[in-house]
Structure 1
Amino acid sequence: MTMRMRVVHSTRYDYEAPVTYSYNEARLTPPTTTTQTALETAVHIEPPTSLLSYRDYWGTPVTAFDLHQPHDSLQVVATSMVETGTTAPAEGAASWTELRDDRVQDAYAELLAATPYTAFDGAMADAADAVAAQPTPADAVQTASALVREHLTYRPGATGVRTTAAEAWEARTGVCQDFAHITAALLRRAGVPARYVSGYLHPSPQPAVGLTAVGESHAWVEAWVGAWLAVDPTNGAPVHERHVLVGRGRDYRDVSPLRGIFAGQGRSTLTVSVAITRLH
């Protein structure tokens, strides 16, 4: 099954005092992959400025821009139309022996190493042991996802963008970012390469054509088990046609939707909205 969806992601900063300049990177453009086709993409900046597009180290499309005139607000609107499909199950799944081969360890070293967001904590030891005890790495992926979903309660606003896997595990609550970070932490501890994926998920299990829904950024995990296997621990379900992929990396820091620096005084107010429409 396939779906065609339009995503409009709007981000606005309002500043108490004019900002004199800023340098920014936006990761808001869905790429074409084996499971989705980006039909149309555009990023609009206000105040207007020139844009530089490239792919980062992890293959995520980036729109870089800077502003050198005083401005009291910054608005970034990313619009995309994407045709998505069901992710096929990983074929030719590797054994634990194959995953522990030096060539695999070297090739995926960066996705086996802990990061500040995904550092392993002793409190996760029992869960990590259960993941590592599975008969195959593919089984380990499903077990990690299930254990995280069992341990954590999804609660919007319970954590922030700086919350680590260890902090969310201790709090037993979090959002999709935390579910993905903990799942990646458990898999890496067991020796399964895992990458953090950012994107969108249509909130309706059966989206109606033409109806625009209020959405938000979403996160899930892809694990290498001889092939890439995607799993959504927040929902306890496979990644399918309602998911729109935007970026991949080691953790949230690698794929944050918008980041940058600016020169100015006073506070800023952030407003974000995501609208998702199934077109067919």
Structure 2
Amino acid sequence: MTKSLFDLSGKTALITGGGSGLGRLIAEVFAEYGANVAVCSRKLHNCQETADDLKNTFSIQAKAYECNVASEVDVTHTVEAVLSDFGQIDILVNNSGATWGEKAENMPLEAWQKVLNVNVTGTFLMSKAVGKHMISRSKGKIINIGSVAGLKAEPPEVLNAIGYSTSKAAVHHFTKDLARKWAGYGVNVNAIAPGFFETKMTKHVLEQKEAAIINKNPMKKLGDPDSLKGAALFLAGNGSDYITGQVIAIDGGVSL
């Protein structure tokens, strides 16, 4: 394999929820391979810290933006600002996510709506806004972050967050449907479905159930950050030009 398949020099990536967790890992590998990076989330401070670190470490352009992906006004303004600052968006990673742990019979409606609004509506709004730009250029890579929770139904003792799992299943189908709709425009749309990684979102579950989760994993371990980075880099670069509508599980085999 040659570096050119993974070289992102001269490209600009927009990563939602890029200030922490999996989004930050993806921002780091994109910057390492030469991409300029825009990161956005509701927490501007986290994104600013990430952008500063990327600039200092990898000598690329990076900038932070405050954005609630569930707000079409916010999304429109953010995409316009990124295009103004960078001139183009070659890669979009829809990573912003929300979850709510509760039994299905007790799930508050407002909790269900919050999770769906961020995870599904946010993915749609950002894809719509950036997609128009990509269609106008006849090229672009969209990477949606799903979850193994959207691939299989877990018992309540492993995961009791029906809004989250439903939203991620929706993200997976959205990925396939959008890929079919935009294939003719030169826009690739794929998804990554991570298993359990150590992040702020999974901290509470892992504190209570880490041993059980690891024991049930065929590879007997939690998520491998390098595998996540590798999959994201592959889907963002030229090596995946003939791949669209796919959901790649990064889960140690737990979804088998």
The normalised TM-score by structure 1 is 0.23
Query: Which structure has more helix as a fraction of its residues?
Result: 2
Flag the structure with larger Rg.
Answer: 1
Query: Which structure has more strand as a fraction of its residues?
Result: 1
The normalised TM-score by structure 2 is 0.25
